[in-house]
Amino acid sequence: MKMLFRFLCVFMLSCVVVSPTDVFSCGPFFTTAIYVQRWAPDYPLEAYYAGRVGIVQRTYPMAYLFAAYRYFSGKPLTAKEQEVFGRSRGPSEIQETPSPAYDRWVEVRRQVLGSEPPQYPVDVSFQDEKRNLYVFYRNIHDDAFEGAAKTLRERVAQFGAQSPLVVQFAQTQDDVFMSAQTGQVPSGLDSSAPALFRSDRAYQVAAAFFYGRQFGKSESLFTIIGNDRTSPWSKLSRYLVARVMIRNATLLAMNQDSVLKEAEHYLRGQLQDTDMRELHPSMERLLGFCMFRTSPAELFRQLDRKFSGSDVSSLTSEEWQNYADLMHEIGDSSSTQYSDFDQWWACYTRRWKAPTYIDALKKYRATKSDAWLVAALSLADPYSKGVTELLHHAKSISRKKPAYATGSYWRAELLVDRNNLKQARALLNDMIARPEVPESRSNINLLRALRLETAVNLTQFLMDCHQKLADTEWGKDSSPQTDSLSRFTPGAIIVDTKFPVRVMLSASRNRSLPENLRRALLQAAWVRSVLIGQDSIAVEAARALEKVDGQLTPLLKEYVSSEDSTARQFTAAYILLKNPGLRPSIRIGVDRLTKLASLDEYRDNWWDNGKWAILDNLSHNWQGYRDADPYDFFPERRPSFLSVSDTAIAHRETSILAGLPPAATYLGKIATDWAQAHPDDKRIPEALHRAVQVSRYGCADRGSREFSKKAFKILHRRYATSPWTAKTKYWY
């Protein structure tokens, strides 16, 4: 009988910390063009943590923002803190075996048993029928292999590798590590065995119950061992009592919170025991794990006090993660005033219930801190009360200060929003040229994207409507930082929405655009002029395109030399049918993944109708500016370098485009009409075959099916012996 389960994949990232894995659905996964890295600086972190923070993004994780806050506040990180910060602060990675600790265990085990170990169930899965869950977790961690190796090494040094008791210890340890799979637990040694080995065996039995998820028995045995102060395992067992309780809570217990409360109470007691001092750091981490779930507000207050201190280098990765996570929960929902950093963080990241602009302005006036100046600037509206004062102070930030780049960026954004475009452009030009702004694609791309909004002529616009990528997701293996190609940015969308095709053609000749984008713009201008019936511009574009696109040259020559407009229309349709990558719009972000003349398996072919004809290249292939909404890049106002008549012409042209049917219907009609009127044209069989293809691999509407069927019938009735007919087995 088949049963329906909910599947919950859970990894044990430490012996007690259980967190869900990343779950990926089936693809396809398309490349995302990232112009501005919003989650981390894209230049060496050593430089960032040394104070060259550049333009600090509000979306950075908390550790990066904390470092920036310290520098902005005039409290630079110490050398030790920089070293600590330089280590990875991301989520703990899932351990892989073999690990160095595992290898050390195998090495000393081989000395005793002379063989390779069995395949231990390091990762374990089981079905929790009570909660209808399927659980997967890390059962044996590196500290277990490390401890077993250390103990066996000590026993070998004292008794020799061939001692029967040492051999038996190693064999029993195999049984312990295998207990989750076998369900078997070793028995204790009788009283005739040496006390040391009896203590070892008692510990191994308790551990085997732990790995076998018999937590009640394991806790009882570890408690007995912990109370036996003569046992060498006494202190560790008292610590492991808490680990057993927590693992029980996270895996099996139906009353998880109450079990964690018991573990929290137990740990607080152990932390009062000075004999357990060496294990206190580990126990504090366990206590933090419990409190995160049982007493989050109290834990946050404790961590906030630690983060307010002058030295944070002693904080553990778990404390960093807990603090960051709790900020989002406690910081958003509580009115309690916490540390200055917590308030600044909530303000700069615009958390819910965060301090307002007025609060930030008051804090700046009280502290004169660059941190609060930056925060207030980031929250200000163009004409907020006190903005003039803030702009004046931002202008005074020394270029040598860490806050210069961030403060100047927010100042420039406010100047743009206040329509002080000349002043904003001068500032942005200066920042782009300044060594004080760390050289990284993210920093430069942010500045150029903002400078784009200050463009007062076509050349200025074309200078900044394209950029090199800072990063990609799901892309090719080549490093974005070494990728020399420029791509159109979201700001370039006005080329599609505001430029008449005549201006598009003119822009394609402007050397402010790199060669690959001039060619792409020229292709779009030719297709668009064909679709909207601008015959003279289409011919001019075709003549220009045939000089720069060798693949299309023969077909374009044929297009230009066509005897009349009707013949030229069919030749244009024939070119479009053969090249699914051609479309009447430029492409924002990454290029089409397949070649111009190849069919894309995921239907990135030709064009759709209506508004989507303009927007299809914005779907999911870019990321980076301000709040990253593509529709924000449709300015209502007319760009100053376009005339009123240009705007009116562009509106008429885009209206024509929006009214056209999708490529399948548009090209299908032209191909079938020409086939009926000119049956001897040698291009017809291929054109009809491709007309059927468009209805399958391109965007279609109700009319597309009619022309697909019509093309199929003409092809099979009139051109039965053509190889293109043999390839056309179906119509769609």
- Beta bridge partner(s), residue 177: none
pTM of structure: 0.74
First to last CA, the chain: 41
Once rounded to an integer, what is the mean pLDDT over residues 323-349?
71
Q: CA 149 → CA 146, 195, 397, distances in Å?
A: 5, 20, 58
User: Residue 330 — pLDDT band, cuts 50, 70, 90?
Assistant: low
Once rounded to an integer, what is the mean pLDDT over residues 702-712?
93
Q: Are the C-beta atoms of residues 110 and 161 closer than 8 Å to each other?
A: no
Q: Are the C-beta atoms of residues 196 and 232 closer than 8 Å to each other?
A: yes
Three-class SS state of 467: strand
DSSP secondary structure code for residue 397 in this structure? S
Could you give the CA distance from residue 689 to residue 712 in angstroms, rounded to a whole number?
7
User: Residue 298 — pLDDT band, cuts 50, 70, 90?
Assistant: confident
Q: What is the pLDDT of residue 626?
A: 55
Q: What is the pLDDT of residue 627?
A: 45
Assess whether pLDDT exceeds 80 at residue 712: yes
Comparing 482-486, 604-608, 623-627, which segment has the lowest mean pLDDT? Answer: 623-627
Count Cα atoms within 13 angstroms, Cβ side, for 452: 25
Question: For 34-62, how does the pLDDT look when each residue is reduced to its tens digit (9 = 90+)?
Answer: 888 888 888 788 899 999 999 999 989 88
**Distance from the Cα of residue 115 to its chain's centroid:** 45
Q: What is the pLDDT of residue 8?
A: 27
Q: What is the pLDDT of residue 622?
A: 47
**Torsion angle (degrees, nearest 10) of CA 205, 207, 213, 215:** 90
Assess whether pLDDT exceeds 70 at residue 553: yes
Which is nearest to 710 in space by CA: 686, 677, 675?
675
Beta strand 471-473 with 10-12 is: unpaired
User: Residue 3 — pLDDT band, cuts 50, 70, 90?
Assistant: very low
Q: What is the pLDDT of residue 476?
A: 41
- Beta bridge partner(s), residue 467: 487
Mean pLDDT taken over the chain: 86
Strand stretches in 563-701, DSSP E: 622-623
Assess whether pLDDT exceeds 50 at residue 613: no
Three-class SS state of 263: helix
Q: What is the pLDDT of residue 618?
A: 43
Query: CB-based contacts of 238: which residues, under 8 Å, 6+ apart?
Result: 222, 226, 270, 276, 279
Could you give the CA distance from residue 321 to residue 22 in angstroms, rounded to a whole number?
17
Assess whether pLDDT exceeds 80 at residue 491: yes
Could you give the CA distance from residue 460 to residue 447 in angstroms, rounded to a whole number?
14
Per DSSP, helices labelled H in 509-637 are 515-531, 535-548, 553-560, 565-578, 612-615
High-pLDDT (> 70) share of the chain, %: 86
**Distance from the Cα of residue 715 to its chain's centroid:** 49
Once rounded to an integer, what is the mean pLDDT over residues 625-649?
69
Question: For 361-420, how does the pLDDT look when each residue is reduced to its tens digit (9 = 90+)?
Answer: 999 999 999 999 999 999 999 999 999 999 999 999 999 999 999 999 999 999 999 999
Once rounded to an integer, what is the mean pLDDT over residues 498-502?
96
Comparing 127-131, 267-271, 283-287, which segment has the lowest mean pLDDT? Answer: 127-131
Q: Report helix angle 535-548 to 553-560, nearest 10.
A: 150
Q: What is the pLDDT of residue 299?
A: 86
Comparing 83-97, 274-288, 545-559, 573-587, which segment has the lowest mean pLDDT? Answer: 83-97
Both tokens assigned to 585: 């719009």
Question: For 406-429, how does the pLDDT look when each residue is reduced to its tens digit (9 = 90+)?
Answer: 999 999 999 999 999 999 999 999
Q: Are the C-beta atoms of residues 92 and 82 closer than 8 Å to each other?
A: no
Assess whether pLDDT exceeds 80 at residue 482: no
Count Cα atoms within 13 angstroms, Cβ side, for 177: 26
Q: What is the pLDDT of residue 308?
A: 74
Q: What is the pLDDT of residue 322?
A: 77
User: Residue 578 — pLDDT band, cuts 50, 70, 90?
Assistant: very high
Q: What is the pLDDT of residue 699?
A: 86
Assess whether pLDDT exceeds 90 at residue 457: yes
Which is nearest to 144 in space by CA: 182, 205, 101?
101
Once rounded to an integer, what is the mean pLDDT over residues 226-240?
95
In this structure, which amino acid lies at residue 616? Answer: D
User: Residue 478 — pLDDT band, cuts 50, 70, 90?
Assistant: very low
Q: Are the C-beta atoms of residues 597 and 455 closer than 8 Å to each other?
A: no
Both tokens assigned to 137: 């977790």
Q: What is the pLDDT of residue 335?
A: 47
Once rounded to an integer, what is the mean pLDDT over residues 330-356?
73
User: Residue 636 — pLDDT band, cuts 50, 70, 90?
Assistant: low
Once rounded to an integer, what is the mean pLDDT over residues 295-307?
81
Q: What is the pLDDT of residue 625?
A: 58
Assess whether pLDDT exceeds 70 at residue 192: yes
